[in-house]
Amino acid sequence: MNLEVKIVEVGPRDGLQNETRSLSLADKERLVAGLVDAGLTEIEAGSFVSPKAVPQMADSGPLLERLPRPAGVRYRALVPNRRGMEAALAAKVDEVAIFASASETFSQRNINCSIAESFARFAPIMEMAGAEGLPVRGYLSCAFGCPYEGAVDIRAVASVTAMLLEAGCYEVAVSDTIGIGTPGDVRRMLADLLTDVPAAKIALHLHDTRGQALANVLAGLDAGVTVFDSSVGGLGGCPYAPGATGNLATEELVFMLEGLGVRTGIDIHKLAVAGEGISRALGRRTSSKVAAAMRAA
Ligand code: HMG
Ligand code: MG
């Protein structure tokens, strides 16, 4: 398949934000170094949110300060408001992401404000990013379902996606927060969304709660999407999405893409080692089937 696919590694952020076992800075640094060594270039390394809300991300500033900065590697971070943006700029991130929701209840639970209010908070972020020439990505949570409201109207997905793009995001990561979408849902959603938005502006951020993520990537590829988020070892979850498990494992994504003939530039052995390392630090086995099979081989 003659296709360029971008993998956004969200393990150090989405993967670790929900963990109860706290990790040392050295553990996190080792994880990111392992990911870089494996060939990942787009890495979401942290999050500048309230440390009371998400204590696991409280050391994002010190972590970013310690990380190596090899050419071609870009570190990203989540920012919810002006204060987060100031901290992200001080940490010299290469890119930030704002995060909105297609569900009002999730917006309230996650960031303590309505969808409309969240955009008022994003406005100064967009201004500051513009002044610094920093790209801003937008996340759209609950695109396939909400842990509080259940089904989410496809029109809400289209309208909040449009709001993120109009605000100045270069791309919207349409997110299956609770891992409930099937390839049929992805097909229908993208058929709707891509009538107004070019595929180049859409990424898929898929949690793998029900084992649909890889099939959903394939449905996304069929529709023309070429940017996918994943998390080494299948780590991940959101503290405000009860029951949601990890993201699609990066090992699974790389294995499938390479099988399709897409060159990822990622050394899957080194990737699996990074996944094993962080899983060990967390006191558990990797959730990646590919990594487990490689260990057994
Ligand atoms: P708020 O209560 O509306 O805001 O929280 P506030 O301005 O009143 O601040 C409350 C407290 O937080 C204050 O501290 C502020 O100083 C502090 P206190 O006076 O109580 O001691 N504060 C901050 N501290 C550090 N950095 C900041 C910051 N802002 C305020 N930037 C807020 C609003 C968004 C801050 C809060 O609700 C929050 O931090 N929520 C965490 C949200 C979060 O990180 N969720 C997980 C990530 S999203 C996700 O996982 C989904 C995604 O993966 C896609 C998908 O799968 O769907 C992206
Ligand atoms: Mg997520």
> Which tens digits make up the pLDDT trace of 92-109?
999 999 999 999 999 999
The tokens for 173 are 């990561």
Q: Which residue has the tokens 């696919």?
A: 5
Query: Residue 15: its pLDDT value, please?
Result: 94
| The dihedral sign for the CA sequence 33, 35, 37, 41 | negative
The tokens for 126 are 């967009």
Helix (H) or strand (E) holding 96: strand 95-101
Asked whether 136 and 99 are in contact (CB, 8 A), the reply is no
> Which tens digits make up the pLDDT trace of 138-194?
999 999 999 999 999 999 999 999 999 999 999 999 999 999 999 999 999 999 999
Residues in the chain: 297
297 C-alpha vs ligand 2 centroid, how far in Å?
Answer: 31
Asked whether 234 and 249 are in contact (CB, 8 A), the reply is yes
ipTM above 0.95, yes or no: yes
Cβ-Cβ contacts under 8 Å for 55 (sequence gap 6 or more): 22
The tokens for 69 are 């900065």
53 C-alpha vs ligand 1 centroid, how far in Å?
Answer: 6
Average pLDDT rounded to a whole number, residues 52-59: 96
The tokens for 268 are 């899957």
Average pLDDT rounded to a whole number, residues 206-235: 97
Query: Residue 243: its pLDDT value, please?
Result: 75
Provide the percentage of residues in the chain whose pLDDT is more than 70: 100
Separation CA 35–CA 30 (nearest Å): 9
C-alpha distances (whole Å) from 135 to each of 169, 191, 192, 197 are: 7, 27, 26, 18
Other CB atoms closer than 10 Å to residue 191's CB: what's the count?
11
Is residue 10 scored above 80 in pLDDT? yes
Residue among 49, 228, 240 whose CB has most ligand 1 atoms within 8 A, to mutate: 49
Query: Residue 236: its pLDDT value, please?
Result: 82
241 C-alpha vs ligand 2 centroid, how far in Å?
Answer: 9
Query: Residue 22: its pLDDT value, please?
Result: 79
Confidence of residue 69 (pLDDT cuts 50, 70, 90): very high
Closest CA to 171 of 195, 144, 200: 200
Q: Among this protein's residues, is 142 annotated catalytic?
A: no
What's the mean per-residue pLDDT of the chain? 96
The angle subtended at Cα 178 by Cα 176 and Cα 181, nearest 5°, is 50
Is residue 273 scored above 90 in pLDDT? yes
Query: Is the minimum distance from the CB of 103 to ligand 1 under 6 angstroms?
Result: no
> Which tens digits make up the pLDDT trace of 237-267?
777 878 778 999 999 999 999 999 999 999 9
Query: Is the minimum distance from the CB of 119 to ligand 1 under 6 angstroms?
Result: no
> Which tens digits make up the pLDDT trace of 14-50?
999 988 887 999 999 999 999 999 999 999 999 999 9
The tokens for 152 are 């989410």
Is residue 296 scored above 90 in pLDDT? no
Confidence of residue 5 (pLDDT cuts 50, 70, 90): very high
Query: Is the minimum distance from the CB of 17 to ligand 1 under 6 angstroms?
Result: yes
Query: Is the minimum distance from the CB of 231 to ligand 1 under 6 angstroms?
Result: no
Separation CA 226–CA 3 (nearest Å): 8
Query: Is the minimum distance from the CB of 41 to ligand 1 under 6 angstroms?
Result: no
> Which tens digits make up the pLDDT trace of 182-195?
999 999 999 999 99
**Ion ligand 2 — residues with CB < 5 Å:** 14
